C-alpha cells in the first residue's frame, strides 16, 4: 500500500511533464512546418523556373 501511494505522485508528475512536453512538441512542429512550407514554396518556384528554362 505504501508503494502505491509513493508511486502515484510520480506517475502524475510524469503525466504532467509529458503533457507539457507534447504541447511544446506541437508548437515546435507547427513552427517547423510553417518554415518548411515557406521554403517549400520557394523551392517549388525555383524548380518550376528551372523546368521552364529547360523545356
Within a domain: 15? no
Number of domains in the chain: 1
**Residue 34: pLDDT above 70?**
yes
Question: pTM score, two decimals?
Answer: 0.39
- DSSP letters, 25-47, are HHHHHHHHHHHHHHHHHHHHHHH
Per-residue pLDDT reduced to its tens digit, 37-47? 888 889 999 99
Cβ within 8 Å of residue 9, ≥6 positions away: none
For residue 29, the enclosing domain spans: 24-55
Res 3: pLDDT: 56
Within a domain: 17? no
Mean pLDDT, to the nearest integer, of 1-18?
A: 63
Within a domain: 18? no
Amino acid at each position: 500500500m505504501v508503494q502505491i501511494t509513493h508511486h502515484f505522485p510520480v506517475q502524475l508528475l510524469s503525466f504532467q511533464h509529458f503533457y507539457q512536453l507534447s504541447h511544446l512538441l506541437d508548437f515546435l512542429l507547427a513552427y517547423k512546418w510553417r518554415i518548411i512550407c515557406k521554403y517549400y514554396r520557394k523551392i517549388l518556384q525555383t524548380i518550376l523556373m528551372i523546368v521552364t528554362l529547360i523545356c
